Each structure stands twice: as structure tokens, then as C-alpha cells.
Amino acid sequence: MNRETASQMGVNKTGIGLSPIDSRAMLEAARATHTLPDGHHYDEWRVRWAREAASTIIGSVPPPSTIKGMMKSAADAITGKRPSVLVDQLGARLAFERTGARLYEAVLAKVDSTMMGGAIRSTLERFHEQELRHFQIVRSALQALGADETAQTPAADIAGVESAGLLQVASDPRTSALHCLDALLTAELKDWESWSMLTALADSLGRSEILPDFRLALSEEEVHLDTVRKWVRGQVETAAKRSAGD
């Protein structure tokens, strides 16, 4: 058994099962707790705070950075479209693909440190390069809109908060290849969903010039998701069988 293939049994101290006497004493102490009469509960406060912050935003989408972009933006406004929504979502994709490329690099390093490799490695490399292509597709779409692709949009910022844990998993030298592939699966689930939404959004806004590239990215993301999902399932099943035989 090793770290890469099995969930090892050991001296885990987090549950109450290992401390029957102490946990009984704790339960008795907890039962003796007197709480104050019902006041406002956390849930009610949450609603109140969210209402109080209703006029505050995480941040804004920057205005177009080129004359062409400003004119396009003005023309869209006349037809009732809000280009800032597309720019915000493209900004999120750009950030996610960029971080995704770094996530792939961390997973590749993990795979290189194990006996895994071979077919998985070459596939990971291909996917990594495709993530870079997707990044470039989004960047080129943002440039065509006259948007500043170096800006962090609100959706990009939030995407960064959402995916912070995935990088922590992949960059931790103590995690297994399976842990990292599982993090990658979470990323690919989100990636596929976002490309799917973005393609539909571009379609509904009549952005036919960017649709072929977006559809290409979506089809590649489908392959990424399908492949990583199979890897994770395969790894878990193989590890479970090996563990049973130990």
C-alpha cells in the first residue's frame, strides 16, 4: 500500500470513537449547557447584513480600453444589450483558464513524482496546452470587444476565490495523485459548465464571429471532463480492490 493508491488506516484522532471516557464527559457537559432565550438567530442576521450591503458591490467591470471598444459598447447599449455582462463572464473564463493552466502544472508535477505517468502524463500535457488555447480564445474575444484583458473583473475575482482550494490541494506535497485528480475534476466540471453557458450567451447575443472557437473549446472541455472523471473513478476502484486484498 502507498500514498498514491490507497486510503491508509492509521492513528487519526479526530472522532470521538477513540476517546470513549472523555467524549462521555464532554457530552454530559454539553447537555448541561444553558442557552439564552431565543433572540435573533444567525440566519436572521445573515439576511439583515445581506440587505444592509445591498448597495455595495464586489467591484465593477472596467470600461472598454480602446476607441473601437467604446463605440461597440455604445452601439450595444442602443440595442438594449449590456456588453459588460459578456466582458465580465469572459474575464472569469480568462482567469479560470490561467489558473487552470497552473493547476495542470501542479498536477503534472505530482504525476511525475509517482509511478503513474505514461498515458496519463501525455494526456495531461495535451489538456494543459488546450487550456492555454482556451485562454487565448477568450483573450482574443475580449480584445475584439475592445475590453482590457489585463483587468480582473468581478466574476474573475469570485472565480479566483472559488478555485483557491483546488490549488492548495494540487500544490501540497503531501496529497496523493488521486487527491489532485479529484481537484482537477472539480475544476473541469466548472470549466465545462462555464464554457457551455458562455457559448450559449455568445449565441444569444448574436456574436457569430466568436462562436466557432467557443464551440471548439467546449468540445475539448467535454473530453477533459470525461477523461478526468474516468481517471478518478478508475483510481478509486483500483485502490479499493488493492486495499481489500492487503
Partner 1 sequence: MALDLSKEKGIPLDRQTFNWQQLVNLPISKLDADAFTRARIILMNGLETEAMRFSHGLARMNGALRLSLAQVRRIEKQQQTLVNWLLPADQSILETTIAYEQVAVEVTASLAMREPDPYIKRMLNFALLEDFDHVYRYAALMDRLEGRDANNILQSYTDIRPGRPTADQHRDPADDIRNSFNRKDAAGITKLNVMTIVAAENQTMDFYANVGPLYADPLARRLYAEIDSIEQQHVTHYESLLDPNETALGMWLLHEAAEIYNYAACLDEESDERVRRIWEQMLDWELGHLQVAMECFKSAEARDPFEVIPRELPERAPLESHRGYINEVLDNELNLQPAGAQLVPQAQVPANSPSMAYRSMVNGNGSPSEIAAAGYIWSPGTEITARAAGLWGTEGRA
User: Hey, which residues between 98 and 137 contact partner 1 (CB under 8 A)?
Assistant: 98-102, 106, 129, 132-137
Instruction: Compare residues 137 and 184 and give the one whose CB is closer to partner 1.
Output: 137
Instruction: Look up residue 205 and give its three cell numbers.
Output: 447575443
Q: Which of 201, 228, 229, 227 is nearest to 214 (CA)?
A: 201
Q: Check binding of 164 to partner 1 (CB under 8 A).
A: yes
Which of 88, 213, 220, 221 binds partner 1 (CB under 8 A)? It is 213
Which of 1, 25, 58, 200 binds partner 1 (CB under 8 A)? It is 58
CB of 100 to partner 1, least distance (A): 8
Q: Check binding of 215 to partner 1 (CB under 8 A).
A: no
Cα 230 from Cα 148, distance rounded (Å): 38
Q: Check binding of 60 to partner 1 (CB under 8 A).
A: yes
- Is the C-alpha dihedral spanning 107, 159, 232, 1 positive or negative? positive
Draw the binding track, 73-102, toward partner 1 (x: CB under 8 A; -: no contact). Answer: ----------------------x--xxxxx
Single-letter amino acid, residue 78 = I
Cα 91 from Cα 226, distance rounded (Å): 25
Q: Please compute, for residue 97, the number of CA atoms within 13 A of its CA located in the half-sphere on the CB side.
A: 25
Instruction: Compare residues 81 and 179 and give the one whose CB is closer to partner 1.
Output: 179
In this structure, what DSSP letter does residue 55 have?
A: T
Tell me which residue has cell 472559488.
162
Count the Cβ atoms, other than its own, within 10 Å of residue 170: 24
Q: Which residues bind partner 1 (CB under 8 A)?
A: 52-53, 56-60, 95, 98-102, 106, 129, 132-137, 139-140, 149-154, 157-158, 160-161, 164, 167-169, 171-173, 175, 213
